[in-house]
């Protein structure tokens, strides 16, 4: 069998971490359950997901679990009627969860607000009624240009309650960016705030909305709703702008749930734009809620006493699925923090964990690498003993940062779950569970019900140890339904590249145990003297040097070798840049990866360019090199 486009795999990580016996005893899903679930899903995929769907409330059950007659336009739970908010709020207020904390919010200046499920339910209903009074109806779109505030959660749920499609635009984006999104999405209402706190500054969002809306790029836009947060002065257009307080003040705290078809859109959310122009991904009520609910409860092995904190911004998919919808569907307490991780100093996250007794902390490798630069003195100042599970998503988690997280934050007691998934997948796809045997740097195995593989361009599985393209071979419930304003995307970008399989755009390898190792993005594969190497492997090798905090490697043309690697690195706080260190790093790469990876040069940087969701923007560095 030929294997076009197979990658070399140079990095070998031998460390293995077995689950603590207590974790296995206490786990809701132990290793036998996990094996049984995999077997069930392998023998009957639809029965497996139907069982997951039965755990939620539906107004009308489905005719069919999966309609694949128009593949790749897959439809889940066809004929079913539901509303995700009914499952996230209403069904909890009938139970003891009614008085449980749903949301703990901390503002950057140190203020805090908390909502029980009942309080959140009432707040959502008030705003749902307020939006209805503004004329918003099922199918209308609402842009939320909002930071991490309780009203952001409330607005998302209020929209979903009435069948409006929410689209969060990250609060770090400029007016120009917002304008583009508004033009693309054509909302009826925009919800924003006067201002909010970020790294000690007040960021004025309403002002940005005013700029974005100059010369009316949005024909359908009727109203702008403004939440008070920073009490900065804003201009209010009396024909268009309303204060949130005025909208909700006289509204009833009960609102009916719109009866949605399982495949009606729930939200539009753009990808991070790491590889170019962000894509507007559309998710629907039914399948999304089933996939997110199941993965949230299983991956994090949820217990009734958990306090869950996902530090991602709701402006990207992790915030949607595992800050807002997942925790609320499961009836747990979710924590949200408004501000910057380094404000007022680099222990803020550890302070929040100890203050609220966070038991599950889900973050990103970027965040960990940033905090690692300050060493262990900050985590050592806080009581992190409530933590039982750690998780990460967003970028390859280099083993050194993984180990730092495991030892310094989890005190070698908490499993670190490296979860692989995307805006498009909606839910975690490849990930360990707390009872899994862990290998730092590996996302381990696909979850039950997910058929993932590593293949060549012709769709053949590549042998263990070789790299290839990461694909998903069967549909899954939380899969996106479409890409905004791009009817051909489903085939052109996802299901038609390797026919019949979902092409994730990442390269990976599987080891002898069937564990997946993400090697980077398919677009970022380096081609050095005929060897194809994933950028993540070279970056991982660099960050395994004790002085390096973060690293990016890009390919630059070379007359002799075709392509050589150029690296950009940031150093940990007490390391100094020098010619000796440069040489040492080049030698280190050779020791770690062998002689074929030729590093042309290493540039020391104070900071690396990142996307809004904190991912390193290789593209920006490449463009800089090319110009």
Q: What residues line the site for ligand ATP (CB under 6 A)?
A: 271-275, 278-279, 316-317, 393-396, 418-423, 443, 504-506, 518, 521, 613, 615
The least CB distance from residue 419 to ligand ATP, in Å, is 5
Smaller CB distance to ligand ATP: residue 83 or 274?
Answer: 274
Partner that binds at residue 521, options ligand ATP, Mg ion, none, CB closer than 5 to 8 Å by kind: ligand ATP
The least CB distance from residue 393 to ligand ATP, in Å, is 5
- Convert residues 269-308 into a mask of x (bound to Mg ion by CB under 5 A) and - (unbound): --x-------------------------------------
The answer to whether the CB of 16 falls within 8 A of the CB of 438 is: yes
The answer to whether the CB of 370 falls within 8 A of the CB of 549 is: yes
Name residues whose C-beta falls within 8 Å of residue 17's C-beta, 6 or more positions apart in sequence.
Answer: 406, 415, 437, 438, 439, 440
Alpha carbon of residue 84 to chain centroid: 19
The least CB distance from residue 309 to ligand ATP, in Å, is 18
Smaller CB distance to ligand ATP: residue 76 or 503?
Answer: 503
Q: Cα–Cα distances in Å, from 284 out to 224, 287, 291, 332?
A: 25, 7, 11, 22
HSE-CB at 419 with a 13 A cutoff on CA atoms is 31
Name residues whose C-beta falls within 8 Å of residue 100's C-beta, 6 or more positions apart in sequence.
Answer: 92, 116, 117, 331, 333
Partner that binds at residue 263, options Mg ion, ligand ATP, none, CB closer than 5 to 8 Å by kind: none
The answer to whether the CB of 606 falls within 8 A of the CB of 568 is: no
Structure tokens belonging to residue 60: 């009308």
Smaller CB distance to ligand ATP: residue 130 or 534?
Answer: 534
Three-state DSSP at 144 gives strand
Smaller CB distance to ligand ATP: residue 28 or 273?
Answer: 273
Question: Angle between the 535-543 and 579-593 helix axes, to the nearest 10 degrees?
Answer: 120
The separation between the first and the last C-alpha atoms of the chain, rounded to the nearest angstrom, is: 41
Q: Strand 333-337 and strand 101-106: pairing?
A: parallel
Smaller CB distance to ligand ATP: residue 268 or 443?
Answer: 443
Partner that binds at residue 145, options ligand ATP, Mg ion, none, CB closer than 5 to 8 Å by kind: none
Task: Please provide residue 497's backbone torsions phi and psi, each rounded to the nearest 5 degrees.
Answer: -70, -50
Smaller CB distance to ligand ATP: residue 120 or 508?
Answer: 508
Closest by CA to 156, choosing from 325, 330, 335, 362, is 325
The least CB distance from residue 431 to ligand ATP, in Å, is 8
Smaller CB distance to ligand ATP: residue 272 or 334?
Answer: 272
Q: Cα–Cα distances in Å, from 232 out to 165, 206, 240, 410?
A: 29, 10, 19, 40
- Tokens 């889940």 belong to 76
Task: Indicate the length of the chain as a whole number.
Answer: 627
Partner that binds at residue 123, options Mg ion, ligand ATP, none, CB closer than 5 to 8 Å by kind: none
Structure tokens belonging to residue 130: 């307020």
Partner that binds at residue 615, options Mg ion, ligand ATP, none, CB closer than 5 to 8 Å by kind: ligand ATP
Question: Angle between the 150-161 and 117-133 helix axes, to the nearest 10 degrees?
Answer: 60
Smaller CB distance to ligand ATP: residue 229 or 270?
Answer: 270
Q: How many helices (H) and strands (E) does the chain have?
A: 21, 30
The least CB distance from residue 470 to ligand ATP, in Å, is 8
Smaller CB distance to ligand ATP: residue 327 or 365?
Answer: 365
Q: Cα–Cα distances in Å, from 413 out to 368, 385, 386, 390, 431?
A: 17, 9, 11, 10, 19
The least CB distance from residue 424 to ligand ATP, in Å, is 6
HSE-CB at 542 with a 13 A cutoff on CA atoms is 33
Task: Tell me, by CB under 5 A, how many residues bind Mg ion.
Answer: 1
The least CB distance from residue 367 to ligand ATP, in Å, is 13
The least CB distance from residue 274 to ligand ATP, in Å, is 3
Partner that binds at residue 338, options Mg ion, ligand ATP, none, CB closer than 5 to 8 Å by kind: none
Partner that binds at residue 502, options ligand ATP, Mg ion, none, CB closer than 5 to 8 Å by kind: none
**C-alpha–C-alpha distance, residues 487 and 491, integer Å:** 9
**C-alpha–C-alpha distance, residues 537 and 551, integer Å:** 11
The least CB distance from residue 508 to Mg ion, in Å, is 14
Smaller CB distance to ligand ATP: residue 375 or 410?
Answer: 410
The least CB distance from residue 492 to Mg ion, in Å, is 14
The least CB distance from residue 91 to Mg ion, in Å, is 33
Residues numbered 237 to 276 that lie near Mg ion (CB under 5 A) are 271
Task: Please provide residue 309's backbone torsions phi and psi, each rounded to the nearest 5 degrees.
Answer: -130, 120
- What does 145-169 look like in DSSP terms, one character per residue? ---S-HHHHHHHHHHHHTTPEEEE-
Smaller CB distance to Mg ion: residue 271 or 419?
Answer: 271
Smaller CB distance to Mg ion: residue 489 or 542?
Answer: 489
Q: Which residue's Cβ lies closest to Mg ion? A: 271
The least CB distance from residue 271 to Mg ion, in Å, is 5
Interface residues with Mg ion (CB under 5 A) are 271
């Amino acid at each position: 069998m030929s294997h076009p486009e197979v990658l070399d795999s140079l990095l070998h990580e031998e460390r293995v971490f077995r689950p603590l016996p207590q974790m296995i005893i206490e786990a809701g899903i132990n290793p036998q359950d996990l094996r049984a679930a995999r077997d069930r899903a392998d023998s009957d995929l639809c029965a497996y997901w139907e069982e997951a769907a039965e755990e939620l409330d539906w107004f009308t059950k489905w005719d069919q679990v999966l309609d694949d007659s128009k593949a790749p336009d897959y439809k889940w739970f066809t004929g079913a009627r539901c509303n995700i908010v009914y499952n996230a709020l209403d069904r909890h207020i009938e139970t003891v969860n009614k008085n449980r904390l749903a949301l703990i919010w901390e503002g950057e200046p140190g203020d805090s607000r908390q909502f029980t499920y009942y309080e959140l339910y009432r707040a959502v209903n008030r705003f749902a009624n307020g939006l209805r009074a503004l004329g918003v109806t099922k199918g209308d779109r609402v842009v939320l240009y909002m930071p991490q505030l309780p009203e952001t959660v409330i607005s998302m749920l209020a929209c979903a309650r009435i069948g409006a499609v929410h689209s969060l635009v990250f609060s770090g984006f400029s007016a120009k960016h917002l304008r583009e999104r508004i033009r693309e999405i054509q909302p009826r209402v925009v919800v924003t705030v006067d201002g909010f706190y970020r790294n000690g500054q007040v960021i004025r969002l309403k002002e940005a909305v005013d700029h974005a809306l100059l010369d009316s790029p949005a024909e359908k836009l009727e109203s702008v709703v403004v939440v008070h947060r920073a009490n900065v002065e804003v201009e209010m257009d009396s024909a268009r702008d309303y204060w949130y307080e005025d909208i909700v003040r006289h509204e009833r705290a009960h609102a009916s749930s719109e009866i949605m078809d399982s495949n009606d859109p729930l939200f539009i959310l753009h990808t991070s734009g790491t590889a170019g122009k962000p894509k507007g991904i559309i998710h629907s009520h039914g399948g999304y809620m089933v996939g997110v609910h199941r993965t949230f409860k299983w991956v994090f092995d949820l217990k009734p006493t958990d306090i869950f904190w996902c530090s991602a911004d709701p402006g990207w998919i992790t915030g949607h699925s595992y800050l807002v919808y997942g925790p609320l569907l499961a009836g747990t307490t979710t924590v949200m923090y408004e501000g910057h991780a380094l404000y007022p100093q680099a222990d803020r996250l550890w302070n929040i964990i100890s203050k609220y007794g966070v038991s599950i902390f889900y973050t990103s490798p970027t965040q960990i690498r940033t905090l690692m630069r300050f060493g262990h003195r900050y985590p050592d100042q806080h009581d992190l003993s409530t933590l039982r599970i750690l998780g990460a998503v967003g970028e390859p988690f280099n083993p050194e940062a993984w180990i730092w997280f495991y030892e310094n934050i989890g005190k070698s007691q908490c499993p670190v779950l490296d979860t692989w998934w995307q805006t498009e997948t909606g839910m975690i796809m490849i990930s360990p569970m707390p009872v899994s045997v862990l290998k730092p740097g590996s996302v381990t195995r696909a979850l039950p019900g997910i058929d993932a593989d590593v293949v060549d361009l012709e769709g053949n599985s590549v042998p263990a140890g070789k790299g290839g393209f990461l694909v998903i071979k069967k549909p899954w419930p939380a899969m996106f339904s479409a890409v905004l304003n791009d009817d051909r995307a489903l085939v052109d970008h996802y299901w038609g590249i390797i026919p019949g399989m979902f092409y994730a755009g990442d390269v990976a390898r599987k080891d002898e145990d069937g564990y997946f190792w993400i090697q980077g993005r398919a677009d970022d594969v380096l081609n050095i003297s005929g060897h194809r190497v994933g950028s993540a492997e070279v970056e991982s090798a660099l960050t395994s040097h004790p002085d390096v905090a973060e690293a990016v490697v890009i390919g630059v043309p070379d007359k002799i070798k075709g392509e050589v690697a150029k690296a950009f690195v940031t150093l940990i706080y007490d390391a100094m840049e020098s010619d000796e260190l440069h040489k040492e790093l080049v030698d280190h790469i050779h020791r770690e990866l062998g002689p074929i990876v030729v590093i042309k040069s290493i540039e020391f940087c104070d900071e690396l360019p990142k996307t809004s969701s904190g991912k390193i923007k290789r593209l920006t560095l490449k463009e800089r090199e090319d110009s």
